[in-house]
Structure 1
Amino acid sequence: MIRRSVISTLFLFGAAGIASAQGVTVQSGDHAGFTRLVARIGEDREWQITRDGREIHIAFPPDSPAFDLSRVYDLISHDRLRDVRDLDGLALSLACDCTISITRYRNRYAVIDIADPEDEPPAPEPAVDLPLFTGRATLPQRPGPALPTPPVTPVLDTPQPAGFAMEDAGNLLAEQLARAAAAGLLDPAPGQPLSLGDPLPRQDPPTESSPPTEAPARPAAAPPPINAANAYDLNLGTTTDRLTISAASSCIPAPARAVSEWSGNIGFFNGVGRLRADAYDDRGRLDEARALELAELYLVHGFGAEAAFWLGEMQTPPAFQTAMADFVDYRTDGVFGTFADHELCPDDLLLWLFLSDSTAEPLVETTATILAQYYALPTILRDMLGPDLARAFVRAGQGGAALEVRAALIRGGRLSPQQMAFLDLDLPGTPTPPENRLTPANAGTARADAALSHRLMTQIHTLGAATPADLTAADALVLETDPGLIQGGLRHAAALGHALSGNIEGTLAHLSLRGPHDSEALGPVFADILSSLMALDRPAPLLLLLSSDEFGQFGQFPNAAFRRQVAEFLLDRGLPAIARDLILAGGSDHDRDRVLLSRAFDRLAEDQISPLSQTTPESTSGSAAAPVETPAEMAALLSESRELRAELEQLLSRTPPADPGS
């Protein structure tokens, strides 16, 4: 019993100690000029400070909590806070005449700062009584700035007055200057040593002028002997006066990526939105790689000021993009360098050096390189810089190259007639504006794309196909002018011509999305191509086009009625399985869709290619099989249709395309 009572007593004392240690923990820390105490008092408590000299009591009404002061002096010393106690609040004993301030942090913490007292200004130094000096002294000359001064004739020193101490006066003057400099009344002279005011030793003036003596010339060192080790060393025996130092070039570095790669495969509005959304990270810092891509996208589309803004946000913007932003807006001369140094510059700068230097005179080989770099530019930059390049060729006496640039601009067809008229005024050998207005529209190359589109469509509707030569010309013109996808345009006619010839890859290349408005015209152009193939009764290219992965396996149709029209065309041509898959891919439950599905299943049963007829062919001789109703049977039918379509494609690939001239 005694042992149990002792154990229980010890347990109660330990529990009491733990409970007392579980109060509000006071944390501390020493900082430069102040000591900080932090305690979590909650949102409902306030504080009241009572100070009596260096004894401070802080109460936290309405009810002061118990504080845990066991770790207060773990991180601080007793220099400012001599002692701290928990007496219905916090009782602080300061070790200095410090100031106390309390602030609230996050509405739950009380932050107590014990700051050092402010330093009192130092007492002014007592004035020093200096002896009054009324005489005149001749001080030695100090070295000053190297200025041309007339020669001064040396003057003999005058005798010093009696009782004058030169050394004491110099020391007193130096002391006064030091006090004035310390008080901020004087500033040291820039570019002069601190020893400028030191006394100089006395030097006797020269008695007579002596001519300057020249230093003896050093004998030239003999070159090292030539032996087998250095027989082929070209630098042997060379001197600095014989070395040829090349002049510094004024060119800027070439861009890391070619200008033709700046536009990428994304439209302007989508690219600007994506790049501006990713231009800054979560901390608001600029991603310079994204900013550079955004500036390049602006430059490709001719926005120099916007590109200059994003380049200015970068720490080290590249020199070429900065110069190009200036040139695009202001056509600044010489911003890329001088054309005379083009052999010392990177090859990619040749076009830009020629455009920005009005005195450039390129050779024939250089002219070909400039034209090649111009044709490699994106479409918008070609249209923007084409007139400037043509005029630059005229200034350089290269009229043929200027007319070639003009022909490329006309074939593009994106410049207005007014812009072309202004360019024709500056080019030699071009018609005047009145003669140009009288020229028939079909006499030149200004309507080449429209004329070629009309020619291809006429061949397709009359002969059933387009000639290979015209298709090749259409492909070349599309690559050069990069027209948009419009219904009845050049890309529409070329895609249909390739589809009729069995070249589905060529068709898909012309139907790919390139411009911002191509997606709007893709649906009508695709439907028109299918309608033309059905009108010409060409099921083979129609099947190849429908089954391509680019159109989502029967997914690209403008509406359900057109889908049913294509399905009925396939059903009439003896392709019920593909017609069935085409209707099922639409996901429609229209009455006409169910009618077409019933016809397709009936035709499949009649042709004995249904899944049931493959296992028991004799069972279909009496009556037709009923349409499938379960999902498993439907999946089996879809798998069978895909196998049949693969066999059909294999057979069509072996069949040569029809000759349009036959």
Structure 2
Amino acid sequence: MLRLALIFCCMALSAQAMPIAVRSGEHADFSRLVIMLPKEADWTLDPTAEGYRLETDVDEAQFQIEDVFRLIPRSRVVEIKDDAKVSGLLFTTTEGVKIRSFPLRLGGLVLDFYDAPAQAVEETVAPHAVTSTSRNLQPVPIGAAHLDLYWQGLIDTPPISAPEEQDHTPNEPVLAEAPLSVPQIEQVDERVSAVEERLRQELSRAAAQGLVEVDTAKLHKPAVPKEQGMVDAAPEVTPEQSASAHKPTDQIAFKSKTSIDQANHSARSATDPTESGLRCASDSLFDLGGWIGDGDASDQIGKGRRAVMGEFDKPNQDEVIKLARTYLAFGFGAESRMLLNDMGAPGEARDALFYLADLFDELPDAHQSPFAQMTGCDGNVAAWALLGADPLPPKEDVNFAAVRRSYQGLSPQLRQTIGPDLVARLIALGAPDIARAIRPALSRITEQDRSALHMVDAQLILEKGGADADHSLADVVAQDGPHAAQALLLLIDDKLSRGQAIESKTTQNARALAFELRGTPLSYRLLRAATLGHASVGEFDAAVDLLAGWPVQAEAELRMNTRDEMVRLLVKVPDDGKFLRALFAHMEIVQRSAMQADLRFGLADRLINLGFASTAKQFLAQAKSPNEQDRLLLGKAALASQDAAAALTHFAGISGPEVEALRAQALALIGEHGSAQKAYSKANEPKDAIREAWRGGNWDFVRENADGTERDFANTFAPASRTTATRPEPSGPLSQAEELIAASQKEREIFEKLLGSFAVTDANTAQKPVQSEAVPTN
């Protein structure tokens, strides 16, 4: 009986409740709790109105939760308390907080509280209770599911292979096995964080200058995101890797170079960085001249397509890259791009081939590629970078020697394909000498197709300012080859720049090519050429129809520039009737273009001269902040409407000969002849100044500045001041009579001369009525 009593006492002591530690740790994306449950304990986790409830089968469990909030804030978990109904805990969380859970192999439960994204499913925990036991545990390697934050350095644990993939719901807890260890919450010193941030800034600056490069071979590959509940197999560690893991010398992930070392290299090699910090591409990535094998294109492409698929119907990446290069070597960009999209694996070689394919097909994606910034590299990439650069780089950032070498190493077909475009870019960069230097590489090509050579010759002629390039361009257009569209554009632009009209057949050719190539960037440039071709011969209805069919979102800037150029041609139409008809028929389009200052001034000036001052004011009113030219034309329009006061208001504060002449006209309209005479004098208009002096009775000014008849009239009918010496009066009646007769005869002669100056000798030459001037009388 005594022994039985002792046994029962021991059982009671063993069954007595034991404390269960609850440890906490705060991380950037979640708050973690580790509840050290016994190994064989079962538990369930259910959502509640306030958060979540943890229920265990541990009798009278005592959870040590006193120090939980010492290491985590109350941002996600607000309160933790014992559940009075069951042996468990109640967690009160903030709104939008979700929970993840998984057990440990040697006992214990991990709970992660995290902020769910806005588009997350409403409930993370399954509606039904999830029961977890120690049976059917799924092993998880060290490092998965954030275990590395708690247990580090356990490299002596043998690698555990991942089991076959199983179907898991997003709410199913992930079960893991790991050796039990006390969690260590690392507290980072603020001073250490400041030093790390400063180091990152210095490394970023050095990388931008090309002094530091990242060694991607030594960087760990980023983990591929997995669905919740799926696990990865632990990476296998070889003995050599384990033995050298502690050596930091060879594990640094970047290489550095001083600025002195960089300055000692006169030319950038294929692996040197560019000015923007990019690493120059190797020659093998752009060796198009070496990608053409033996045989014709069909044989090589057919052989490559048969070799693409490897064992188990998986693409052989080496053969995929080889076939894509063969496509590009013969100029097939679309085929290469399709092959790489379907079968190509990510990598530098695939990126380079995508860039070349976009270049061949003139796609805008090529301009955004890093390869387009490698114009300064001393390798094959230089020429292809120059072809893709948009906008063009400064001349000093281009390695012209590398561009020339790269072009001369291409096949004849590729030299014909890219030659004209490369020459155009070299001329635009201000390097016509380099453009002439690559011309012999085209002249040695077979005589059967000289379109590329003729295109280059025409570009070089235009660069010199010559006017005899039209014949070469017309030959290229007539051959209807790959450069016909570019030649047509150059031909139309050259004629428009010299003020020549575009022939109807040339305009129709541009329209046909634009329709054939519709949807491509080149088609919109052809559409622009056709629009301006119609406008150059006064066919503005057809030009406006082409603009109306231009998609609004496609090349919007080019479309607006084309509209403005069309209106600029409208201003220059010599026929006033065609000008007025087209303007009023398409007033809405013209008004939008009138936002440009030069077009607004040209339209307003011509309308004022034609007597449409009110319409000119509509265009001038579109200026957001009128400048002196706007005010000058507004005053001119007011003068045309006989509104002198408004004109003087617009002229206020403006100086210059033209505005002084217009100001004088306004002053004359309101009878201020003296002020008008002074304004005409400032404008260097002597005849108009004499006229206003005559009208204002300023005879002294007329005598001093007028010639001939006007001066004689002033001397005769408006004698000088009485203070001047005069002739003595005749003494006798006969002398007085003779003098009166002589004076009358002289006055008659002066009147006849003065009236004769207003006579119209030929009625056919009088197209405007002559304004009668007021002649002063005694």
TM-score by length of 2: 0.26
TM-score by length of 1: 0.30
Q: Which has the higher contact order (CA 8 A, sep 6+)?
A: 1
